[in-house]
Amino acid sequence: MNIKDNIDNCLYNNSNIENNDIENNNIENNNIDEVLNKNNNNKINNKVYFEIIWKNIYLKGLIIYHLRIFNIHYSKKYFNSLNNFDGFQYKHYCRSVSLSGDDDGSDNPLKLITRNIDTIYYYFNTFKESTRIPCWVEKFGVNISSVEFSKVLFRELRDSNIKKLILDFKEGIYPPQISCFTMLPKNLTSLKTIFYPYTINKGMLPCGLKTLVIDHNNHIPIGEASLPDSLEFLTVKSDIPYPLTLNKTIVFPKGLVVLELKCFSEVESDFKFPKSLKTLEIICRGTFNSTLPNCLKVLKFSVDDINLNTSSTKEPIQLPPNLEKLDIHLGNSNQFINNHQMIPSKNCKSLKYLKINCTQINDTEGDSIFPNSIETLIITGACFQIKPNMLPRNLKSLSFEKPYNYPLVEDGLFPETLTHLTFYEFNQKIGANVFPENLKLLDLGIGSNYKLHEHSIPLGLLDLKIRYQNYTYLLFLKDRPNLIISTYYYRQFIEYLCPKQLRILKPSSDVDIDLSVLQLNDKSNLELLEIPSLFNYKIYQKDLPTNNNIKTLIIGDHFINPLDLDLFPNLELLVVGESNPSIKYSHNITKSKLKQINVLHYLY
């Protein structure tokens, strides 16, 4: 009996006491206090019991062992036959399984599903009358391969406890239209349809549905007033070349929070977005003549050579006042940025994230058009030249996704708040003390082959990335014990001037070398080693750092030699990818620091 039941019993007994029987009343009140004290003591006892168990080396090891197995098998597991699943040693640790191939003639292929599995992806070619979806399964994905398949499936779905459903209709399959959505599970809250061949009409979707994803390649099957009022998240995907017209006949639910229109759309003046909308993604082709809701926080706006006006007076689009994240892709319409039509005013205090492909960020007076509230700025178009005091003064992260072809030599180019700077490609001169002292990450991209001088790199930098495989200069950066250098080349590190500073080494994936070439003996602080994809040599202790501190080891896809874990006493993460090594270890593996092994094989 729990504490609530005990108290309720006491109160019930208390109600039978006469008003003048004060002594008995006090006794019953004391009973309540005793129950409460007992409950508090139980909490204390539970803590004591846990500490006793946790201090027991055997029990603690057993708990950690099973937790590790659960973590290893938490993600989706793929099985190409029912027999493979049945024979899988760790099936009782799985949470999500994908079944495909042969059902081995079983009358009920799902009878082998254990209670720990709450998600099933069913890709067998048939769905038999005797097939039963386990009552504990909450998410079900299915590939509907025939009309008969769909008839049997929907009869079973009707009485199931499925809350999340994925229906993938094979192209050319046209099941009975009525049976599909009138037989959906009554507790369904999330539905994704792929290539559903009919229009979804009013009353077909469950009244409690909260998430709907429609993925189609021919048309967008949303009928008038067909979306339930309970819907909060709606995603529409389509590759059709003509736009979805949003007008007064398209009425979205009043409580809609997220709307993702990943299809060409044309927004007419009589269309109204729900006032509740917090996130909007839209690809415009044609015109945009609507008003954005004031409560919008996130806007991803893609433009395909359109007239961005809200009315015939050619007034610019009014962005919501509390917008926090703005992602704009302008196609060939960069002139809109120069006219300030899609950038909040400099007085905006809410906008923190801006991703944009503009080629110019100055107004007619030469001042920056970016509000100072921006903390993350991503430039996706052809890069403009940075001038002093041009960037927002509160900027923390700056990324260029196109080549940057200007030298960095002037003072005041970057605000002191900047901590992350990433170039896609940069091959220009860097002056002394150009970067702010707060900079923590510097990624020079794939084309950098300029010599880095010591005074060009801030003392506080923690992560330096050079992704040019043929970088020809030695790095001499003394007195930087916390600096992590990520490199995709190796030749100059054979004669590395500061060997103890090298923390991460990622040789180019297309080189065929053995570890002796890297001369790792003096790289005592090396923590991550990625072995090239073509590497398939035996690993010897003499080729590793003398004081081996490697915590992460990534094996190339072609490695099939034995891997002795005793050579890596501090290893915590092993990534074997698609390779097939035989792993060796001593009987002291229980004392190993290894926490995780990542494998990228898909079929078991």
At residue 325, the pLDDT reads 95
CA dist., res. 84 & res. 507, Å (int): 38
At residue 6, the pLDDT reads 38
At residue 184, the pLDDT reads 86
How many CB atoms are located within 10 Å of the residue 533 CB?
21
At residue 161, the pLDDT reads 92
Which helix (H) or strand (E) segment holds residue 299: the answer is strand 298-303
Residues in the chain where the model's pLDDT stays below 70: 1-44, 171-172, 174-180, 217-219, 286-287, 304-316, 331-347, 359, 363-366, 476, 481, 485-499, 501, 508-512, 587-591, 600-604
Contact 301, 342 (CB under 8 A): yes
At residue 269, the pLDDT reads 80
Pairing of strands 258-267, 552-554: unpaired
CA dist., res. 430 & res. 415, Å (int): 16
CA dist., res. 269 & res. 254, Å (int): 19
CA dist., res. 467 & res. 416, Å (int): 25
At residue 491, the pLDDT reads 57
Query: Phi, psi (5° rounding) for residue 95?
Result: -115, -35
CA dist., res. 212 & res. 165, Å (int): 10
CA dist., res. 17 & res. 554, Å (int): 74
CA dist., res. 85 & res. 103, Å (int): 10
Contact 160, 185 (CB under 8 A): yes
Q: What is the pTM of this model?
A: 0.76
CA dist., res. 505 & res. 303, Å (int): 41
CA dist., res. 521 & res. 499, Å (int): 9
Contact 566, 585 (CB under 8 A): yes
DSSP state of 67: H
Nearest to 133 by CA among 416, 48, 124: 124
pLDDT per residue as tens digits for the range 520-568: 888 888 888 888 777 778 888 998 998 899 999 988 777 888 888 889 9
Contact 98, 79 (CB under 8 A): yes
Contact 152, 172 (CB under 8 A): no
CA dist., res. 205 & res. 484, Å (int): 53
CA dist., res. 388 & res. 413, Å (int): 4
Contact 294, 320 (CB under 8 A): yes
Type of residue numbered 13: N
Contact 382, 359 (CB under 8 A): yes
pLDDT per residue as tens digits for the range 309-321: 444 334 557 788 8
Grouping H, G, I as helix, E, B as strand and the rest as coil, residue 393 is: coil
What pairs with residue 98 in β-bridges?
78, 121
Contact 520, 496 (CB under 8 A): no
Contact 530, 551 (CB under 8 A): no
